Amino acid sequence: MSEPVPETSRTAGAAGAAPRSVLLFDLDGTLVDSAPSILESFRLAFAACGIEPAVALDARLIGPPLRPTLTRLLGGEADAPTLDRLASAFRDAYDGGGWRATVAYPGLEAVVGRLADAGRRLFVVTNKRLTPTRLILDHFGLGPRFEAVYALDAFEPPVADKAAALAVVLARHGLAAADCVYIGDTPEDAAAAAANDLAFIAAGWGYGDPARLAAAAAQARVGTLAELAELLLAPEF
């Protein structure tokens, strides 16, 4: 069930105000379950480089950008050549077809279509690289539904993190924070939204640590994509 916060904190959804019309989505753990494909590609990359991961390959790794994740898998310290080798091996495995094991969360196509048909402006803002992001969205027939798709490697000059990426997206498209909501599955997503004065909806089906996600500031918390659609299309939101 969704757990909306008290109505008094919903500044943009107050009586007489238009509902939030701009919906910015995280990808992994929010729209799609990419953990099996990513973790298998990490396994193949480390095997190809003859290196044993220093930590377990599990869903807690999903979310951060590629090179910080590789550094974590190397035990927290890594030289640039080793990172370059592993990153290249990962891209070969994942972009070369590993991404196809990605699974859409139940109801994804219907929910995205419903939101777009209702006139909502849809964006993806993700830590994932742009090439596999577009491959995955197009694989599920969703690419045309999104007004724009942004990944950390799609910015010039580069941005440091998702908070900075959101700031650029807002500025580039002339979006007012009060008209927007960011939907994600981790405390880091919540922090990125807060850094840009955006409302945040916590997707409870993703990879974020449940206790930390529960403690993060959120406009609402939902348990399924269907609940998310109902919330986003509610006149009072």
What's the one-letter identity of residue 40? E
**Model's pTM, two decimal places?**
0.89
Phi-psi region of 107 (alpha: psi -120 to 50; beta: other; left: phi over 0): left
- Are 231 and 237 contacting, i.e. CB atoms less than 8 angstroms apart? yes
Over residues 89-118, the pLDDT tens digits come to 999 999 999 999 999 999 999 999 999 999
Tell me the sheet residues that pair with 181: 23, 199
Tokens 């529960």, located at residue: 214
Distances from the Cα of 187 to the Cαs of 32, 60, 92, 159, in angstroms? 18, 12, 30, 19
pLDDT, one tens digit per residue, over 4-51 is 433 323 333 444 456 799 999 999 999 999 999 999 999 999 999 999
Q: What is the mean pLDDT of the chain?
A: 91
The region that residue 230 occupies, defined by phi over 0 for left and psi between -120 and 50 for alpha, beta otherwise, is alpha
Between the alpha carbon of residue 206 and those of residues 48, 61, 153, 198, the distances in Å are 29, 12, 23, 20
In Å, what is the CA distance from 205 to each residue of 140, 155, 227, 228? 19, 29, 12, 11
For residues 205-231, average pLDDT: 94
Contact 197, 177 (CB under 8 A): yes
Q: Which residue has the tokens 């777009």?
A: 116
Is the pLDDT at 1 greater than 80? The verdict is no
What's the DSSP call for residue 20? Answer: P
Spatial separation of the C-alpha atoms in residues 172 and 168, rounded to whole Å: 6
Q: Is the pLDDT of residue 77 over 70?
A: yes
**pLDDT beyond 60 at 137:** yes
Q: Centre a 10 Å sphere on the Cβ of residue 34 and count the other Cβ atoms it contains.
A: 25
Beta bridge partners of 200: 182
pLDDT score, position 63: 87
